[in-house]
């Protein structure tokens, strides 16, 4: 894979708008965001790897199943509250970890963390954030987790884990599918590098003005199950293993200390042609003990997608790119309104399918 040339960009201009969004659904966001996010950054956010087969399949695969409603269920207002690994949420939705929210808006992760929290969704702070972890935690009024890209330097891993814990993060999300970034051709075409003005304060030795491949050089390349044990021991917090797609792999991770599994293919940005997350979900749910929460990200855009994922056993559903698009278009209130749009669709799906609470959404409701 060719690496982007380092550029000498000194300033980077992106969204400053603040306010709720005028959208009918989440699909409306991409075209609007394209107009406000600089080309290279937009390509980085939107793009997938290779032929983008998995990227497209992630949303398409929801069409493989249909919802089976149960009428006359006798309620009028569904309850969408859940608790997952001790985090109480108003909706079973979360922001999965995404690098560099500063590409989308001047408030960076402060805006997205506040918007998600104000909507009652969980926020996952990331290793590759453009503002310090403590600032993200301060901006976020709700529960939060921390995603770790495991570094070669164990000292940095230890420090990140301790900082996350001190900042109030209550679980560590261990991403296992990006030891090497896959080929994302939009980034090659656009010669994309993270702008020099957007730094990664959580990583002391992060290269400046670098491509993802350059940044990836500081990630540990020989990740193993022992790393789950290390994170669990160091943090004393539940470890969520993110990026799994097969039942045997999920079982192995749980046996080595994972408290939860996040079914994900990195939004179609890593190994192309792997299955959609929603396709992989049922096998993983079946493989692990019912006490082990399974989450899903990669592809959901509709309330009915959230409903389907929950019916197939996911406890909560992550929404990636729409968060960055809505951040670009409206800062924290933009993100909040995106989540509210999705929540309204999801509540309507619950009402029409006949589910009064999250616990009611079972396998019975999908083909």
Using the Cα atoms of residue 28, residue 29, residue 35 and residue 38 in order, give the sign of their dihedral. Answer: negative
266 sits near ligand FMN (criterion: CB under 6 A): yes
**How many residues are present in the chain?**
367
Among 279, 272, 328, CA closest to 305: 279
Residue whose entry in the numeric block shows the structure tokens 């994309």: 192
Q: Binding ligand FMN by CB under 6 A: which of 15, 78, 96, 209? A: 96
Q: Binding ligand FMN by CB under 6 A: which of 40, 142, 299, 330? A: 299
* Pick 45 or 278: Cβ nearer ligand FMN: 45
Binding span for ligand FMN by CB under 6 A among 66-74, 131-139, 295-303, 307-315: 295-303
272 sits near ligand FMN (criterion: CB under 6 A): no
58 sits near ligand FMN (criterion: CB under 6 A): yes
98 sits near ligand FMN (criterion: CB under 6 A): yes
Q: Catalytic residue numbers?
A: 266
* Pick 137 or 319: Cβ nearer ligand FMN: 319
Q: With CB under 6 A as the rule, give the number of residues binding ligand FMN.
A: 22
343 sits near ligand FMN (criterion: CB under 6 A): no
Q: What minimum distance in Å lies between the beta carbon of 360 and ligand FMN?
A: 25
Q: Binding ligand FMN by CB under 6 A: which of 21, 29, 85, 99? A: 99
Q: Binding ligand FMN by CB under 6 A: which of 21, 23, 29, 45? A: 45
Q: Binding ligand FMN by CB under 6 A: which of 157, 211, 298, 347? A: 298
Contact 337, 307 (CB under 8 A): no
Run of H or E including 84:
strand 82-84
Q: Binding ligand FMN by CB under 6 A: which of 320, 330, 331, 354? A: 320
Q: What minimum distance in Å lies between the beta carbon of 65 and ligand FMN?
A: 18
The interface with ligand FMN within residues 169-228 (CB under 6 A) comprises 175
Neighbouring CB atoms inside 10 A of 75's CB total 13
Provide φ and ψ at 159, rounded to 5°: -65, -45
Q: Binding ligand FMN by CB under 6 A: which of 211, 264, 336, 347? A: 264
Neighbouring CB atoms inside 10 A of 8's CB total 6
Site string for ligand FMN, 101-130 (x = CB under 6 A): -------------------------x-x--
15 sits near ligand FMN (criterion: CB under 6 A): no
Residues 6+ apart with CB under 8 A from 22: none
Q: What minimum distance in Å lies between the beta carbon of 198 and ligand FMN?
A: 13
d(CA 300, CA 276): 10
d(CA 177, CA 9): 30
Binding span for ligand FMN by CB under 6 A among 70-78, 132-140, 156-164, 297-305: 297-305
d(CA 28, CA 313): 28
* Pick 110 or 266: Cβ nearer ligand FMN: 266
Q: Binding ligand FMN by CB under 6 A: which of 144, 242, 305, 315? A: 242
For the CA atoms of 332, 333, 334, 340, what is the dihedral angle to 10 degrees? 120
Contact 178, 243 (CB under 8 A): yes
319 sits near ligand FMN (criterion: CB under 6 A): yes
d(CA 337, CA 38): 23
Contact 308, 269 (CB under 8 A): no
| Cα within 13 Å of Cα(256), Cβ side | 17
d(CA 148, CA 154): 12
| Chain positions contacting ligand FMN, by CB under 6 A | 45, 58, 96-99, 126, 128, 147, 175, 242, 264, 266-267, 269, 297-299, 318-321
């Amino acid at each position: 894979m060719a690496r982007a040339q380092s550029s000498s960009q000194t300033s980077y201009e992106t969204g400053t708008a603040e306010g709720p969004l005028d959208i009918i659904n989440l699909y409306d966001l991409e075209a609007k965001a394209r107009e406000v996010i600089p080309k290279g950054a937009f390509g980085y956010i939107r793009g997938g790897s290779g032929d983008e087969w998995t990227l497209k399949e992630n949303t398409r695969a929801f069409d493989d199943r249909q919802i089976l409603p149960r009428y006359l269920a006798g309620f009028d207002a569904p309850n969408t509250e859940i608790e997952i690994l001790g985090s109480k949420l108003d909706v079973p939705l979360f922001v999965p970890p995404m690098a560099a929210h500063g590409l989308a808006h001047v408030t960076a992760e402060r805006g997205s963390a506040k918007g998600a929290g104000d909507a009652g969704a969980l926020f996952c702070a990331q290793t590759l954030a453009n503002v310090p972890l403590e600032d993200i935690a301060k901006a976020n009024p709700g529960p939060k987790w921390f995603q770790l890209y495991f570094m070669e330097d164990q000292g940095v891993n230890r420090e990140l884990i301790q900082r996350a814990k001190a900042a109030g993060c209550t679980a560590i999300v261990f991403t296992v599918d990006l030891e090497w970034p896959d080929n994302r051709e939009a980034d090659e075409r656009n010669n994309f590098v993270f702008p020099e003005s957007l730094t990664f304060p959580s990583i002391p030795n992060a290269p400046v003005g670098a491509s993802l491949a350059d940044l990836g050089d500081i990630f540990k390349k020989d990740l193993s199950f022992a790393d789950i044990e290390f994170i669990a021991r160091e943090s004393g917090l539940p470890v969520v293993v993110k990026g799994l797609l097969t039942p045997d792999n999920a079982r192995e991770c749980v046996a080595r200390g994972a408290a939860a599994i996040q079914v994900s293919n990195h939004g179609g940005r890593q190994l192309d042609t792997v299955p959609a997350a929603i396709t992989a979900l049922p096998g993983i749910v079946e493989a692990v003990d019912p006490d082990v929460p399974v989450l899903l990200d990669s592809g959901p855009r509709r309330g009915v997608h959230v409903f389907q994922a929950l019916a197939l056993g996911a406890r909560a559903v992550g929404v990636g790119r729409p968060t960055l698009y809505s951040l670009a278009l409206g800062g924290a209130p933009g993100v909040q309104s995106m989540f509210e749009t999705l929540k309204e669709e999801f509540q309507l799906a619950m009402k029409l399918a006949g589910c009064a609470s999250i616990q009611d959404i079972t396998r019975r409701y999908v083909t």
